[in-house]
Structure 1
């Protein structure tokens, strides 16, 4: 339950703990300052925070995180091989990926996940939120890249969260 004066209780708790860890002090003053910042920052920024959709399948979220972690490690090795190899092996390209997700939070999460995997960067989202522009360091086949993003990242997110489809 959230109230007008405590709109994001978990964020408040998280910011409080982060403040105490940053100050490296367990004093009452540190906890009070952390609680004040943890309360004030979400209150002042609540118009900018995205509403998080309900988590439908938490177990799938854990699996998704493991897949993303694996992809990050594999992409790091691939990018290292490409960068240390001859420049002629690089095939950079921009690819437009059509999006089925309409929820802003889930779209943001998808864009972040794609950018976390080395060799790809989300470069923009169309005004109607229907197309995600990606830049790939080594794109052999743009259709294959689109299919990979949609199957490996977008489809599981739509299962994990309760979000609308187009």
Structure 2
């Protein structure tokens, strides 16, 4: 018994319906004026050891405090006078800054925190600006201890 013509034509109809020959908008088309463009997230990549090298060392807000109020940054740790943090991720932001995701303990408390670090050169030597992203952008500049 031969198949009805409709049964043979049905797969062809499905295939043709799936083909849409209407022009597609370009991928870079701007959104309509009534809709603001969403801000693209900053591109980050894991920081290489060489790129992160200017961040590593012992730092203090005042050089005279290098022995007592220093911050030590290594590839895996961020340690201050009263807290100890594991660096869970260190991202190279591609603009000369780095963002560290920290898991910290101090004074019996635990916290997760993000800090953006920017290596700088100050009149008294090398420095690093710490921007505490989870503290409303609180910033502090530290100088490299000798």
Q: So what's the TM-score if we normalise by structure 1? A: 0.22
- Structure with more of its chain in helix, by fraction: 1
Which protein shows a greater Rg?
Answer: 2
Determine which structure has greater relative contact order: mean sequence separation of CA pairs < 8 Å that are 6+ residues apart, divided by chain length: 1
Q: So what's the TM-score if we normalise by structure 2? A: 0.24
